[in-house]
Amino acid sequence: MNTKNIMIVGVGGQGSLLASRILGAAAMNAGYDVKVSEVHGMSQRGGSVVTYVRYGESVASPVICEGEADVILSFEKLEAARWLPYLKIGGTIVTNVQQINPMPVIIGAASYPDEIVEKIKALCVDIIAEDAQAMAKEAGSEKAANVALIGLASHVLGFDRNVLRAAVEACVPAKAKEVNLRAFDKAQEKIG
C-alpha cells in the first residue's frame, strides 16, 4: 500500500496532539508502520500548528509536503485555507467551521477572508465543513471537538471503524472516555 498522508492543522491549544496520537495508535494497531510529527514550543502559544501522520507498509519521511496530503483535518477555517496547497489533487479536507481571529486580524492589520469554505469548494476540492464544537457539546463536552472531527473524517482516513474507535478509547483520558466516544459516534453517523 502507498503511504497515507494525514495532516492535522489548527491553532495552538486546540488539541491536535491528541488527535495525532489517536491516528498514530490506530495505524499501529492496524499493523502499519507509522510516523507522526508534531510541533512544540513557540508555535503553541496560539500560533498556527500542524501535525503530520503518515502510515503504510514502510514510512521514511515524517513530514508531509505540498500536494501530498490525502486528508487534511482542520480545527479552524483559516487554517484549512492556509494549508490547502498541501492537499493532494483529489484529497479531502474535513474542517471545523470555527473562526479564531489571529492577532493581525484582531488589531486590524489584516482581514479574515470571507466564505473560505465556499471558495475552497469552488476549486472542486472535496471539503466537509461541520460545527465540531456543537457536535461535541451535544455529546457532553466541547473539549471532544477534536474527536468529533476524527469521526467526521472516519470514512476517508483508511481505517476500519472499530480500529479507529478503539484508538479513541485507548488514547483519551479515562474520565473523558464516554463523552469522546459519544462525540465520535455522533459525528460518524452524520457522515454515514
Partner 1 sequence: MKKIMLGNEAVARGLYEAGVHFISSYPGTPSTEITEFAAKYDEMYAEWAPNEKVAFEAAYGAAIGGGRAFCAMKHVGLNVAADPLFVSGYTGINGGFVIGVADDPGMHSSQNEQDSRHYAIAAKLPMVEPCDSRECKEFAAMAYEYSEKFDTPFILRLTTRVSHSSAPVELCERKNVPVRDYEKNIAKNVMMPANAKKRHVVVEEHLRQLTEFAYDCPFNKIEKNDTTLGIITAGNCYNYAKEVFGEGASYLKLGLVNPLSEKLIREFCRGLEQIIVIEELDSVIEDFVRKLGYDVVGKNVLPNIGEFSQDLLRKYLLGEEADSSMIADEIPPRPPVLCPGCPHRGTFYTLKKLGVTVYGDIGCYTLGAVAPLGAMDTTLCMGASISALHGFNKVRGEEGKSVAVIGDSTFMHSGMTGLVNIVYNGGFSTVLILDNSITGMTGHQENPLTGKTLKGDAAPYISLEDICAALGVAREHIRVVDPADMKLLETTIKEELESDVPSVIICRRPCALLKGVERKPALSVDTDKCRGCKSCMKIGCPAISMIETEKGKKAVVDPAMCVGCGLCESMCAFDAFVK
170 binds partner 1 (CB under 8 A): no
Using CB under 8 A as the criterion, what x/- string covers residues 146-165 for binding partner 1? Answer: --------------------
Site for partner 1 in 37-96 (CB under 8 A): 37-48, 59-63, 65-68, 78-79, 81-82, 84-87, 89
CB closer to partner 1 out of 53 and 188? 53
> How many angstroms separate the first and last alpha carbons of the chain?
25
33 and 56 Cβ atoms separated by less than 8 Å: yes
Task: For residue 40, give every residue at least 6 positions away whose Cβ sits within 8 Å of its Cβ, in sequence order, or none.
Answer: none
In the complex, the smallest distance separating the C-beta of residue 192 from partner 1, rounded to whole angstroms, is 26
The residue among 146, 168, 26 whose CA lies nearest residue 74 is: 146
Kind of pairing between the strands at 4-11 and 33-37: unpaired
Among positions 89-148, residues that touch partner 1 (CB under 8 A) are: 89, 101-113, 116, 119-120, 123, 125, 142
Asked if 63 and 9 touch (Cβ cutoff 8 Å), the reply is no
Distance CA 61, CA 49 (A): 19
81/187 with CB nearer partner 1:
81
- Judged by the rule CB under 8 A, the positions of this chain that interact with partner 1 are 11-12, 21, 24-25, 28, 33-48, 59-63, 65-68, 78-79, 81-82, 84-87, 89, 101-113, 116, 119-120, 123, 125, 142
